[in-house]
A and B are shown apart, each in its own frame.
Chain A
Amino acid sequence: MSGSNGNGHLYVPQLAAIVKITDETYDTKTFTLRFVDDDYRKNFTFKSGQFVELSVFGAGEAPFGFASSPNRREDFDVTIRAVGRVTNALHAKREGDLVGVRGPLGNHFPFEEVMGYDILFVGGGIGLPPLRSLIEPMLEAREKFGRIIILYGARTPADRVYKSWLVELEKRDDIEFMQTVDVGDDSWTGNVGVVTTLFKKISVDPSKTVAFTCGPPIMIKFVIQDLLQMGFDGDHIISTLERYMKCGVGKCGHCAIGHKYVCTDGPVFSFTQMRALREQW
């Protein structure tokens, strides 16, 4: 049964152990989670773009996108910035501690559907982790896709997540990877400017390219504006939308935009779908 969490209850999570905590930035950590129940873990699958509701018992529950490849079956990553009650409580946890997980929830990025296309990723700040859950399986099936272009922007060099992974991406010659920061520092020799300034440095054929973007709402607005100007079709712009979310299963009402729920109709939307929403996203 959908959303039954293996226990028959919509709101009762499965227990998962934090098997690894990786510091990403001064306020962001990656948590590697592994389900305690053997059967549940063996049968658990998800798709890139989906999310989980993560519980810190006593602090509450909040939604986070998968940040690792769905091909990794034993455990999965979520990358989380400490900004609110649940995320701060999570940051206080240690390896070995138990949390609750409900999921996978929500729709997912297209994968098979975009094989053969050139792929353009535009990530901002903490928006890179959900894209990583799609970038990794695409790199694992590299020959199935055309060009893969990854543009990543962050506020400062220190705000960049997955710094060692970024170095690996930079070394690869089968992808085009560029990063930028809004404000540089003494050691930064790369591009300075918002992520859309990188568009000038690439040339894409919009008719055979699908763009995936994830980041803060204001960034998404500007990215989409530029993509449209470059000639992208609304169906070829795939974005995630964010809203305050509680239940994750279309019942609590919080994440509604127009008559769609970000949790069950999204979080992945094409621009064509976003344009049809009767409320500002």
Chain B
Amino acid sequence: MNVGDKLSAPKDQILKALDRLRKNWKIVGPTEGPDGEVIFREIESSDEITFNYVNELDPIKRFLAPPTEELFRFRTNGEVKLELPEPPPRQILFGIRSCDVKGIQHWDKFYSGKFVDDAYFARRNNTVLISLACNEPLETCFCICTDTGPFLEEGDGYDVQLTDLGERFLVEIGSERGLQVLEEAGFKAEAASAEELAKRDELMRQCDTKFETTAFMAKGIVQMTNGRVRDSLWEEMGHECFSCGACTHLCPMCTCFDVQDVMEAEDCGRRERCWDSCQYAGYTREASGHNPRAATGSRIQRRFYHKLSFAYIKQDGHHGCVGCGRCIIACEAIGLLDLPAVLKRLRREGQPVEVTQVPTE
């Protein structure tokens, strides 16, 4: 086996390989929740895995950047002593979707650079991504508009990508890490046939035709880049927004966090970070009370400037959306402030009001 190989195996061979890996790895996979919904969680056995899902509402990023995460512990009796948290376990994220893989790929880049976020990479470097390409989109999915799915191509960040061919999986090995974990599991498979490879492409093409949600990125990008949106539109959106932060918490691309100290006794405690949202009024409020984004509309403008402006596209290499559609499902202002809805509004009503001279007699 080599990186880049496209193999084919009966489905249960993959599941048996997972079971063999469980001894040394934490396996996170898709399971059926109490209301029939899919929930990604640690599994004891591959029997718990369901394949009856498109994606979970909670974003997969939580397994790499937990909603609250201990950075270190401190003791302050007499001397001050700092202790690092236990190293995180080796984990396999199995069955995650293309959009979430692309989100993680963004996190990898954002958290490296001049300042490497070692707390993130302590988890990330111990994580293997086994993704499952999407044969069916949800009605809220629009990864086809953001170039983040439904199938991933080489270099898109998966370690192993599976495609459901019916009785068998097509197994694409995307990285050294993916190869190693398959070898560790004693996984053996034959090369995929030309027929199977053709079927993969056919499934991808069929999926492309099934998308219902559209997100016209182009004009939104131009308008956010040029600042050509009338202020009153942001004000209107500000009136519609509940500032609940769901859009950002569920977004696979959103990385913001807050940091706080939590005391556990009089002389010891921990410093932790937790997910934060640029949609909260307190996000930019300074100790003096001064708040440059006190208006709700200015915070919505901030969110879409980050998601769409060319300044960020140039920096990150892509815009800030993976088309998972979670903001559509989660937004309390139903249908008004999710990304596709805002793109529509920017396109239709975002222009500065044109003043035309009315000729007089």
Q: Do A253 and B114 touch across chains, with their CB atoms under 8 A apart?
A: no
* Interface residues contributed by chain B, number (CB under 8 Å): 46
Q: Do A259 and B312 touch across chains, with their CB atoms under 8 A apart?
A: yes
Q: Do B261 and A83 touch across chains, with their CB atoms under 8 A apart?
A: no
Q: Mark A249-281, 1 if CB is under 8 A from B, else 0.
A: 111111011110000100000000000001111
Q: Do A11 and B72 touch across chains, with their CB atoms under 8 A apart?
A: yes
Q: Do B116 and A242 touch across chains, with their CB atoms under 8 A apart?
A: no
Besides the contacts A2-B115, A100-B82, what 20 more A-B pairs have beta carbons closer than 8 Å?
A9-B84, A9-B118, A11-B72, A11-B119, A12-B82, A57-B74, A58-B261, A61-B259, A87-B287, A243-B284, A244-B284, A244-B286, A250-B113, A251-B117, A251-B255, A253-B256, A257-B292, A258-B305, A278-B311, A279-B292
- A259 contact set on B, CB distance < 8 A: 305-306, 309, 311-312, 315
Q: Do A254 and B256 touch across chains, with their CB atoms under 8 A apart?
A: yes
Q: Do B227 and A278 touch across chains, with their CB atoms under 8 A apart?
A: yes
Q: Mark B276-302, 1 if CB is under 8 A from A, else 0.
A: 101000011111101010000000001
Q: Do A253 and B255 touch across chains, with their CB atoms under 8 A apart?
A: yes
Give B284's nearest chain A residue, CB to CB: A244
A52 to B305, CA, bound (A): 29
Is B271 close to A, CB under 8 A?
A: yes
Chain A positions 213-256 with a Cβ under 8 Å from a chain B Cβ: 217, 242-244, 246-247, 249-254, 256
Supply 12 A–B pairs (Cβ within 8 Å), ascending by A. A12-B71, A57-B269, A58-B261, A60-B259, A83-B287, A100-B80, A244-B285, A244-B286, A251-B115, A252-B258, A254-B258, A256-B306
Q: Do A250 and B286 touch across chains, with their CB atoms under 8 A apart?
A: no
Give A218's nearest chain B residue, CB to CB: B290
Which residues of A approach B to under 8 Å, CB–CB? 1-3, 8-13, 15, 55, 57-62, 83-85, 87, 98, 100, 217, 242-244, 246-247, 249-254, 256-259, 264, 278-281
Q: Do A247 and B259 touch across chains, with their CB atoms under 8 A apart?
A: yes
A61 to B283, CA, bound (A): 15
Q: Do B227 and A242 touch across chains, with their CB atoms under 8 A apart?
A: no
- A264 contact set on B, CB distance < 8 A: 114-115
Which residues of B approach A to under 8 Å, CB–CB? 71-72, 74, 76, 79-80, 82, 84, 110-111, 113-119, 227, 255-261, 263, 269, 271, 273, 276, 278, 283-288, 290, 292, 302, 305-306, 309, 311-312, 315
Known: A2-B115, A258-B311. A12 touches B84 (CB 8 A): yes
**Residue from the set A15, A256, A281 with the largest chain B CB neighbour count within 10 Å:** A256
From residue A14, how far is it (CB to closest CB) to chain B in Å? 10
- A258 contact set on B, CB distance < 8 A: 305, 311
Q: Do A10 and B286 touch across chains, with their CB atoms under 8 A apart?
A: no
